Amino acid sequence: MIQPAFPLDRELIAGFCRQRGIRRLRLFGSALRSDFRPGTSDVDVFAEFDPQSLRDSGWDFYLYGEQLGKLLGMRVDFCTHLRPWLQDRVAAESVVVYEAAP
């Protein structure tokens, strides 16, 4: 199994996700490869939300990437939609770091 290229506190991530209605959070890109460089590389994340949670998020939604970046101590590229050509690649090359219980 692929592991993140940096230490990750999954309980902290789980709390972040539960508070915001994120049902699944995946890492992808350089954060999972040997070319990841702390301090210069960003962390690519793909968030899937419980649809009801976004109804009440308002403008706070636009801060989620910055807030997650503060928790991780690095810059985050926070994605919620992927272009069609990227969907299969992210599905194959990502690591789920949080998934809500069904």
Does residue 56 contact residue 24 with C-beta atoms inside 8 Å?
A: no
Distance between CA 73 and CA 4 in Å, rounded? Answer: 14
Mean pLDDT of 30-51: 92
Task: Kindly indicate the confidence band of residue 1, based on its pLDDT and cuts at 50, 70 and 90.
Answer: low
Mean pLDDT of 46-52: 91
| Residue 58 pLDDT | 76
- Provide the 3-class DSSP secondary structure of residue 35: coil
Distance between CA 25 and CA 47 in Å, rounded? Answer: 5
| Residue 31 pLDDT | 92
Distance between CA 38 and CA 18 in Å, rounded? Answer: 26
Task: Kindly indicate the confidence band of residue 2, based on its pLDDT and cuts at 50, 70 and 90.
Answer: confident
Distance between CA 81 and CA 2 in Å, rounded? Answer: 22
Which backbone phi and psi does 47 adopt, to 5 degrees? -110, 135
